[in-house]
Amino acid sequence: MRTLRKNYSEAADQWEALQTSSVPVLYVGAATCGRAAGAGEVIERLQTEIRDRQIAAQVVEVGCLGLCCLEPLVVVHKPGSPQVCYGRVDTDRIVHILDRYVLGDDPCAEWALGTMTPGEVDSIGKFSEHPMMTGQVRHVLRNCGVIDPKDMSHYLARDGYRGFMKALELGPDKTLKEVKKAGLRGRGGAGFPTWQKWQFCRTASGEPKYVICNADEGDPGAFMDRSIMEGDPYSVLEGMAIGAYVIGAESGYIYVRGEYPLAIRNLSIAIEQSRALGLLGDNILDSGFSFDLEIVRGAGAFVCGEETALIASVQGDIGSPRQRPPYPAQAGLWGKPTNINNVETWSNVPAIILRGGKQFSGIGTKQSKGTKVFSLVGKVRNTGLVEVPMGTTMREIVYDIGGGPQKKRTFKAVQSGGPSGGCIPAPLLDLPIDFDKLQEAGAMMGSGGLIVMDDHTCMVDVAKYFLAFLVDESCGKCTACREGVAQMHNILVRICQGEGRDGDIELLEQLGTYVKDTSLCQLGGTAPNPVLSTLRYFRDEYEAHIHDKTCRAGVCKSLVRFAIDPDTCKGCGLCVRDCPTDAISGEKKEPHHIDADLCVQCGVCYEDCPFDAVLVE
Amino acid sequence: MITLTIDGQQVEVEPGKTILDAAKSLGKVIPTLCYHPAVPAAGACRICVVEVVAGDRPGLVPACAYPAKEGMDIQTQSDRVMQSRRMTLQLLLARSPGAEVIQDMARDHGITENPFPERAKQTGDKSEKCIMCGLCVRLCQQIIGASAICFDGRGPDRKVSTPYNNQSDVCLGCGACAFVCPTGAIDPADYSPSPIEKIPNEFNCGLDSRTPIHIPFPQAVPNKPLIDRDNCIRFKTGGCGACETICPAGAINYDMEDEFVEEEVGAIIAATGYEIMDPSIYEEYGYGRYPDVVTSLEFERMVSASGPTNGELTRPSNGEPPKTIVFLQCIGSRREVNGKPYCSNICCMYTAKHAILYKHKVHDGQAFVFFMDVRAAGKNYDQFVRRVVKEQIATYVRGRVSKVFARGDKLIVRGADTLSGTQVEIAADMVVLAAALVPSSGIRELSQKLRVGFDEHGFLLEAHPKLRPVDTNTAGVFLAGCCHSPKDIPESVAQAGAAASKALGLVCHTRLSREPTIGIVDESSCNGCFECEGVCAYGAISAKELKDKKGNTLATVANINQGLCQGCGACAATCRSKSIEVQGYRDDQLFAAINAINR
Ligand SMILES: Cc1cc2nc3c(=O)[nH]c(=O)nc-3n(C[C@H](O)[C@H](O)[C@H](O)COP(=O)(O)O)c2cc1C
């Protein structure tokens, strides 16, 4: 077997050279999240400045560090100094940082988030002690934001593909044992033990066999997989190669939604580079094992994340799920044994093989091992990608990492598992997060989307929102999901419009149970969750909507009337300025007043008011 | 074999069978909508869900698409199952309130009200009955192989459509989609650019259509289906094969070929029946122009309980019952010029019958019969016609019709009432033409094969009109029914009986008796020119090889089959070497007779 010794030593040299570069190196987070916040312009500006002013400095585009709310992120590494990470770096700020820190001596501490490597710069604290980073264990995301995802030498220098090579040495049986020992469970939602899935496919009869990476990531508000593919595509390829080796598959597919062009680009580059090194292709490293990969672009249907629908879509059929059994492990792609895992699952594999399953299973809870990446969004101060050990409590994520609710709001619930998940209310905040605990609470790990909601969120409206999503995303194949979810949505719309009736809650429960029970696939099988779980924890809100015709959160327009509390109103005029219908009047510094005839219940004043003087009646 | 329990009963099925198969083998009925035995199951409609209680992951599974597994314990009627089914039905009712199947199923499941509002205002369009079960789409893709239809849209907005909503140029127009649709929601005409060619049902005079695989008519012998290869998708495209999949007896064999069967027989009875002449050549009657002008044979099918309308008599033009009907006699019959000079023999009687049948169907209807004279010369025939006249079942008008034309949605029948000497016009809803009977097409070829003569109209000739009405001039060939002349049923039956006994009379003996006066060949002088063979009207002459003791052929000479020869003497007259003579009329015998006269 070839060992790529030369390539590794070259890669190590290159990496070392970058770390000890004689000129300043600026790492810019250029994943989709960074670009959305303006990283593209920042890079352009940087390069122009460097070129025009002939500044001796190097720019490296890296993936996402996870602090999405502070994007664009730039890490500056001056020779002899530790790396300093800056947040919210726009085109102005980058020029300041160039002038003051890169060319001067002022480290711009006011924008610094922390130092990333040992050493001191001014009074800047450690990045790892930034509130958003404490408690995080960067295991899957170890390379994200650190390496250039288009430069394979970076990956190799950080032990890339060593797990795969070790697997080739161990042989399929021992490799599978490591995965079993690790206790890795699927990160795509259901949490099925990965080793067992591999085992089914391995022992299934039929040739050839396939491995597929599920990168459809259709949950609204979830972007874990995207970040991994954009920031560290090699780890996905390596994981798949290991899995294929264990299973005996010679080809694999990565099913990526078309809305992820950057992920597709970075994956394609990684595949090219891996092929060039002989890590993909025929007779890899003279081991006798052949494996190659292809990217298939999905058209962005939530249901295509369901494995049988995904397979149909890869085959060029309509992306509708089919009744299981047979399971993909028995009859999957083109009717052949197929193993499908999620991006994060695959990405976890190389380290498990390299460091041993035992090390992995040392983290986490009894039934859920390792770490989990969550995308933390919604009404929290810090939003972004967080990776925590299994067993971390929801409170730690929401309050410590997320910084708690915004403004002076109170936390109400967190929706876990996306549209097919459920909500976890405040009393359950201390629930340690793992697959089974979430399930018990009526929610779901899902693929890791966490949406935080506060007292300005109406839970009936939230359920309605998710159901509207699911009505749109239902493939329409089976009656239960197509008709049932649509009728549930109808009822919720009625309730939110103030036309709720006696019996609606019972009907929702009946229908919800029916849809869960009778649907063909797990889209329908989980679709009622947002309703059932909000009914479980926030039944009073439903009752208030139906019987009292009120929406306490001030969201359901037909049910709210806004008024200004004269005692709290400071007469700042913010609401007057923003009211689209000029319904608010009042002298400056005097209590204001809302003209009910003009008010369209848009809620802008309610959200605006810095003193919480706008009340919901 | 797999053993499982359904509703407490044990059942064994082969591996690969579904729960539905297993339930069926126990005689249990599980309702289905999106299932058809010839189409791969999808489990889409969810009406067939049953509860797995033990032996597999517990829960509801679709019986049609879920494999039977060893040790499974299934409940088909548990509360959970019935609740699910009722909910499915209520949801489907909200989507397709007009679908009769769903209404019926809902009634059977005790559903009286629906908590769910109808999804959209119903316009009565048949596509609103679509419950998205996808059976048609799966069939078209996976069985027919055409992929002419597909789903368009997602979720509740899903609908059955064609790719890009264009008319499909790959639709075969086979109509299988409409055939399997449980709710009657699909019409292939909506998808196909070319008109869907329905296969006319020959037995019903093309008044309705049939499938490519069909039993020709209800009392067909043998009463078995046949495949019409010109229209069968399997033969046209290699797709489908549904009949083979579902035939429990495994009787479908696409490789079977038509074959020639040779039998040696002692007698042949020709019984080829008749056809109706096409009355559209008489433009004045409007046949072929007005859909409400039909032939009496078409009328016969229309009022038949096994006919295209199941016996309901309606106007082809608008589906309304015909309140006034006019029967026209002698259309083409007894017509010297441009027609048939003979009487078709059966029209007077069947028209009287049709008048009665008409009154049975349309109680308040009025029937008229235009006739030349009524020929009712059979036992009780005249009484039958008189009853129709007397009981005013039909008004008989003696005279001929000059023209049938449309006015509004009526057909005006203009004719002469020769008894009162007036012109009459009747505003009719339907006109029935008693078109002339003609021999079956192909009878001339048959007559040549049988060496039987035919008359100027093509009817086969009997040997003697009075004394041998069943025989033909060719020995062993007999006639029965309308191949001989127009006949009604009793006459045909009588003649057929006679022909049968004649044939039996022939074959029941070990030896045949024949007329002594037949041709005889002098083999020593015959030079084998076979001129005689060509002139023999009875096919009695064949070649015969003369051999020596060693089996070497010495000469080939004519040989006369004594059973077939009728002694006409044509061969004798033709023979140049004078080697054939008719026994009893040999030349020397005739000369002796002449000499005796002269003496
Ligand atoms: C409606 C629906 C959508 C899904 N979407 C995704 C998805 O976007 N990404 C994913 O990895 N798994 C998704 N899944 C889960 C997959 O079906 C499957 O469980 C997963 O790919 C298995 O991989 P794992 O064992 O690594 O978790 C979805 C499932 C359902 C029912």
Q: Please give, rounded to a whole number of angstroms, the shortest distance from the CA of A226 to a CA of chain B.
A: 25
- Of B342, B355, B350, the C-alpha closest to B396 is B355
Q: Across the interface, do A478 and B95 touch by the CB < 8 Å criterion? A: no
Peptide bond into A326 cis (omega under 30): yes
CB within 8 Å of B436: residues ≥ 6 apart: B276, B277, B330, B331, B332, B333, B335, B339, B340, B342, B344
CA of A388 to the centre of ligand 1 (A): 21
Q: What is the mean pLDDT of residues A309-320?
A: 94
End position of a domain, from candidates B495, B511, B527:
B511
DSSP-derived letter for residue A456 is T
* B314/B325 Cα distance (integer angstroms): 11
Q: Are strands A251-257 and A292-298 parallel, antiparallel or unpaired?
A: parallel
Q: Which helix (H) or strand (E) holds B80?
A: helix B79-95
What CATH number did the domain enclosing A533 receive?
1.20.1440.230
Nearest to B328 by CA among B369, B387, B388, B378: B369
Whether residue A510 sits in one domain with residue A403: no
Give residues (CB < 6 A) around ligand 1.
Answer: A 186-190, 192, 197, 214, 216-218, 302-303, 305-307, 340-342, 345, 447, 521-523
pLDDT value of residue B510: 86
Residue B246 has pLDDT above 90, yes or no: no
Sheet of A422-425, strand order: A384-389, A371-378, A449-454, A411-416, A422-425
Alpha helix stretches (DSSP H) within B451-519: 489-507
Is A146 contained in some domain? no
pLDDT at A405 over 80: yes
Shared domain check, A540 and A514:
yes
Please report, for the domain that includes residue B30, its CATH number.
3.10.20.740
Q: For a pLDDT cut of 70, what percent of chain B falls above it? A: 99
B56 φ/ψ angles, rounded to the nearest 5 degrees? -165, 180
Instruction: pLDDT band for A246, please (50, 70, 90 cuts).
Output: very high
| pLDDT, tens only, B51-80 | 999 999 999 999 999 999 999 999 999 999
Residues B103 and B156 in one domain: no
Q: Could you tell me if B403 and B459 lie in one domain?
A: yes
Model confidence at B558, in pLDDT bands (50, 70, 90)? very high
Last residue of a domain, one of A454, A487, A506: A454
Residue range of the domain that includes B561: 519-598
Within A304-421, strands assigned E span 338-342, 371-378, 384-389, 411-416
% chain A with pLDDT above 70 = 100
Task: State which ligand 1 atom lies nearest to the alpha carbon of A222.
Answer: 8
Query: Do residue B46 and residue A480 have CB atoms under 8 angstroms apart?
Result: yes
For residue A307, the ligand 1 atom closest to its alpha carbon is 17
Same domain, A9 and A36: yes
Report the CATH number at residue B533.
3.30.70.20
> Are A428 and A569 within one domain?
no
A371, A389 Cβ separation under 8 angstroms? yes
Cβ contact A472–B154 (<8 Å): yes
Specify the higher pLDDT residue, A55 or A189.
A55
Domain-terminating residue out of A548, A580, A595: A548
Structure tokens belonging to residue A8 = 């590794």
Residue B120 has pLDDT above 90, yes or no: no
Residue B213 sits in the same domain as residue B233: yes
∠ CA B177-B142-B33, nearest 5°, is 50
Distance from CA of B97 to the nearest CA of A (A): 13
Is residue A483 within 8 angstroms of chain B, CB to CB? yes
Task: Look up the pTM and report it.
Answer: 0.80
Considering only residues 297 to 326 of chain B, which have any Cβ-Cβ distance to chain A shorter than 8 Å?
A: none
Supply the DSSP symbol for B321. P
| Same domain membership, residue A570 and residue A425 | no
B133 pLDDT higher than 80: yes
Q: How far is B45 from chain A (nearest CA, A)?
A: 5
Yes or no, beta carbons of A476 and B156 under 8 Å apart: yes
Q: Is B585 exposed, middle or buried (0-12, 13-18, 19+ CB in 10 A)?
A: middle
Give the count of domains, chain A.
Answer: 5
How wide is the angle at C-alpha B124 spanned by C-alphas B122 and B127, nearest 5°? 90
| Inter-CA distances, B202 with B289, B297, B546, Å | 20, 12, 53
Is position A303 within any domain?
yes
Same domain, B459 and B481: yes
**Is the per-residue pLDDT at A555 higher than 80?**
yes
What would the pLDDT profile of B212-222 be if each residue is shown by its tens digit?
Answer: 999 998 889 99
Give the mean model confidence (pLDDT) for residues A127-151: 94
Same domain, B293 and B369: yes
The nearest CA of chain A is from the CA of B241 a distance in Å of 22
- Domain for residue A585, yes or no? yes
Higher pLDDT, residue B143 or B348 = B348
| Domain edge (last residue) among B119, B138, B153 | B119
Cα–Cα distance for residue pair B338/A490, rounded to 1 Å: 74
User: CA A237, A217, A308: angle at the middle one, nearest 5?
Assistant: 85
Residue A320 falls within a domain, yes or no? yes
Please give the structure tokens belonging to residue A115: 């130092």
Element counts in chain B: helices (H) and strands (E): 15, 27
Rounded Cα–Cα distance for residues A309 and A122 (Å): 55
- B569: closest CA among B511, B517, B492? B517
Confidence of residue B576 (pLDDT cuts 50, 70, 90): very high
| A585 touches B at CB < 8 Å | no
**For residue A607, what pLDDT is reported?**
85
Core vs surface per residue A308-333: b (16+ CB within 10 A) or e = bbbbbbbeeebbbbbbbeebbbbbbb
Among protein residues, the one whose CA lies closest to atom 24 of ligand 1? A186
Q: Choose the mutation target among B86, B154, B159, B183 for the interface with A, i.e. most A CBs under 10 Å.
A: B154
Residues in chain B: 599
d(CA A604, CA A593) in angstroms, rounded, equals 14
* Same-domain status, B477 and B369: yes
Residue B253 belongs to a domain? no
Instruction: Classify residue A141: in a domain, yes or no.
Output: no
Residue with the bigger pLDDT between A617 and B383: it is B383
Q: Is B52 exposed, middle or buried (0-12, 13-18, 19+ CB in 10 A)?
A: buried
The confidence band for B20, taking pLDDT boundaries of 50, 70 and 90, is very high
Q: Tell whether the model's pLDDT for residue A159 goes beyond 80.
A: yes
pLDDT reported for residue B537: 86
Angle separating helix axes A162-170 and A172-182, nearest 10 degrees:
120
Is A553 part of any domain? no
- Pick from A319-333, A379-393, A408-422: least confident: A408-422
Q: Taking all residues of chain B, what is their mean pLDDT, rounded to a whole number?
A: 93
Q: CB-hemisphere CA count at 13 Å for A460?
A: 31
Residue A189 Cα to ligand 1 middle (Å)? 6
Whether residue A301 lies within 8 A of chain B, CB to CB, comes out as: yes
Q: What is the ipTM of this complex?
A: 0.91
Q: Are residues B281 and B355 in the same domain?
A: yes
Long-range contacts, stretch B99-104, CB < 8 angstroms, 24+ apart: B99/B129, B99/B131, B99/B183, B99/B184, B99/B185, B100/B183, B100/B184, B101/B33, B101/B182, B101/B183, B102/B131, B102/B183
- Cβ–Cβ under 8 Å, residues A578 and A545: no
The average confidence (pLDDT) of chain A is: 94
Instruction: Answer whether residue B251 is part of any domain.
Output: no
* Per-residue confidence band for A229, with pLDDT thresholds at 50, 70 and 90: very high
CA distance readout (Å), B332 to A318, A482, B433, B434? 61, 63, 10, 8
Q: What is the pLDDT of residues B170-179, one digit of tens each?
A: 888 778 898 8
What's the CA-to-centroid distance between A216 and ligand 1, angstroms? 8
* Same domain (yes/no): A74, A212: no
Do B238 and B273 fall into the same domain? no
Q: Which chain A residues touch B88 with a CB distance below 8 Å?
A: 479-480, 518
Work out the number of other CB atoms within 10 angstroms of the CB of residue A335.
12
Please report whether residue A149 resides in a domain: no
B260 in a domain, yes or no? no
Positive/negative CA dihedral, B257, B260, B265, B270: positive
| Res B121 pLDDT > 90 | no
Q: Are residues A197 and A340 in the same domain?
A: yes
Nearest to B66 among A301, A323, A514 (CB): A323
Mutation target for B interface from A517, A519, A526: give the one with most B CBs within 10 A.
Answer: A517
The predicted-structure confidence for A434-448, as pLDDT tens digits, reads as follows: 999 998 988 888 888
- B195 pLDDT exceeds 80? no
Q: How far apart are CA B331 and CA B338, in angstroms?
A: 11
With the C-alpha atoms ordered B552, B554, B556, B557, is the resulting torsion angle positive or negative? negative
CA of A324 to the centre of ligand 1 (A): 15
Within a domain: B162: yes
User: Residues B198, B209: contact at Cβ < 8 Å?
Assistant: yes
User: What 3-state DSSP class applies to A291?
Assistant: strand
Per-residue confidence (pLDDT) for residue B190, from 0 to 100? 82
The first and second tokens of residue B291, run together, are 């859909």
A151 lies in a domain? no
Is the model's pLDDT at A616 over the cut of 90?
A: no
> Is the pLDDT reported for residue A18 higher than 90?
yes
Strands B437-439 and B274-276, bridge-based pairing? antiparallel
Name which residue sits closest to atom 9 of ligand 1, judged by CA: A217
The pLDDT, as a whole number, for residue B99 is: 95
Q: Which atom of ligand 1 is nearest to the CA of A192?
A: 25
Domain that holds residue A444: 371-454
Tokens standing for A93?
Answer: 């700020």
Which H or E run includes B298? Answer: helix B296-302
Mean pLDDT of the region A261-286? 96
Residue A78 CA to its chain's centroid (Å)? 32
- How many domains would you assign to chain B? 5
φ/ψ region of A529 (left if φ > 0, alpha if ψ in -120 to 50, else beta) reads alpha
Same domain, yes or no: B304 and B360: yes
pLDDT of B189 > 90? The answer is: no
Chain A residues with CB-CB distance to B97 below 8 A: none
Collapsing DSSP to helix, strand or coil, A491 comes out as: helix
pLDDT of amino acid A455: 92
Residue A154's contacts (CB-CB under 8 Å, 6 or more residues apart) are: A11, A14, A15, A18, A143, A147, A148, A160
- Is residue B420 domain-shared with residue B342, that is, in the same domain? yes
Q: B391 falls in which pLDDT band (50, 70, 90)?
A: very high
Give chain A positions within 8 Å (CB) of B83. 514
pLDDT at B169: 84
- CA A158 to ligand 1 centroid distance, Å: 29
Q: In Å, what is the CA distance from B6 to each residue of A521, B29, B33, B39?
A: 24, 12, 21, 24
Ligand 1 pocket check: which of A255, A259, A307 to mutate, most ligand atoms within 8 Å of Cβ?
A307
Ramachandran angles phi, psi of A267, nearest 5°: -65, -45
- The CATH number of residue A95's host domain is 3.40.30.10
Looking at the structure, tell me whether residues A336 and A415 fall in a common domain: no
Same domain, B482 and B594: no
Same domain, A441 and A478: no
**Whether residues B314 and B389 fall in one domain:** yes
Q: Which of A301, A323, A503 sits opposite B43 (nearest CB)?
A: A323
Q: Are A270 and A384 part of one and the same domain?
A: no
Which residue's structure tokens are 């004798």?
B572
Among candidates A328, A340, A444, A318, which has minimal Cα distance to B44? A318
Q: Degrees (nearest 5) of the Cα angle B262, B268, B269?
A: 130
Structure tokens belonging to residue A543: 């009752």
CATH number for position A572 = 3.30.70.20
Q: What is the largest CA-CA distance in chain A?
A: 83
**What CATH code is carried by the domain that includes residue A275?**
3.40.50.11540
Q: Domain ends where: A295, A322, A357? A: A357
Together in a domain, A465 and A567 = no
Model confidence over A496-508: pLDDT tens digits?
999 999 999 999 9
The whole-angstrom separation of Cα A244 and Cα A75 is 37
Map tokens 């040299």 to a residue: A13
pLDDT at B193 over 80: no
DSSP E strands: which ranges in B315-361?
Answer: 324-331
Which H/E stretch holds residue B11? Answer: strand B9-13
Shared domain for A242 and A315, answered yes or no, is yes
Task: Please give the pLDDT value at position B415.
Answer: 96
Return the residue in B91, B92, B157, B164 with the most chain A beta carbons within 10 A, the one to mutate for interface testing: B91
**Which residue, B142, B166, B190, sits at the end of a domain?**
B190
Q: Is residue B438 part of a domain?
A: yes
Q: Are A533 and A422 in contact (CB under 8 A)?
A: yes
Does residue B236 belong to any structural domain of this protein?
Answer: yes
Q: Please give the pLDDT value at position A592.
A: 94
Cα(A514)–Cα(B88) distance, rounded to whole angstroms? 9
Residue A569: what pLDDT?
Answer: 93
